[in-house]
Structure 1
């Protein structure tokens, strides 16, 4: 089992665009046996993908080619004994208030956070019921 975490800056972020991303991600992920979580806001996407290495790699390659994602940065990729989001083709959570403010993201906080900080972030999201972080 492989987990991959990346960040990107959304291009043309709006509710309809996010709905389109989530609908296609859920359909493709269900087909490919991938689970995960997308934390999204107007200035930042943070996503964890989980599944067989080949499927996760192919999905990440599609994301790299997707013009809705700018400045894609691979944060972490590695093996894991279990999924953090086993019941979610793609869980989506709006970025909670305990994440960086927009000015901190502009100054590079998301790039400088490191893999351990992102893994803790997804651990925290996975432990909360959907909607509890709003």
Structure 2
């Protein structure tokens, strides 16, 4: 069965630490159940997420995200098959937006909308290479 990766962006609605914790707890529980791995890069003005797993599971998860009121302006960036997972050990890795990403002004001016799928794939390639300690959830 081929693996699928999906990348989307959205704007958080009501972003705060508790909302982010709630999203991550639910994502980790659901993703572990559904065989999905991935990463969420998050900050107050932008979510960028990669989901990877079997096509049906990834599609169903994206459908739940589209209905989730905590995400607005959800934009599908890339969807396609892949030979391997970038985040095989992460039901959902969370990563703060790094200084090498756009600042808030650039996001307001459309940098996240204008970046192509290649830019986002490079972002997740870079995140997957950076060490992060697993949190006990």
1:3 maps to 5
- Structure 1 position 117, deviation (Å): 0.2
Select 2:68's aligned residue among 60, 66, 69.
66
Matched residues, number = 131
Could you say what secondary structure the match of 2:49 adopts?
Answer: strand
Name the CA distance, whole Å, in 2 between partners of 1:92 and 1:130.
9
Name the CA distance, whole Å, in 2 between partners of 1:65 and 1:97.
30
2:97 maps to 95
Could you say what secondary structure the match of 2:57 adopts?
Answer: helix
- Structure 1 position 130, deviation (Å): 1.1
2:53 maps to 51
1:105 maps to 107
Could you say what secondary structure the match of 1:29 adopts?
Answer: helix
TM superposition score normalised by structure 1: 0.97
TM superposition score normalised by structure 2: 0.95
The structure 1 segments of at least 4 consecutive aligned residues displaced by more than 3 Å after TM superposition are none
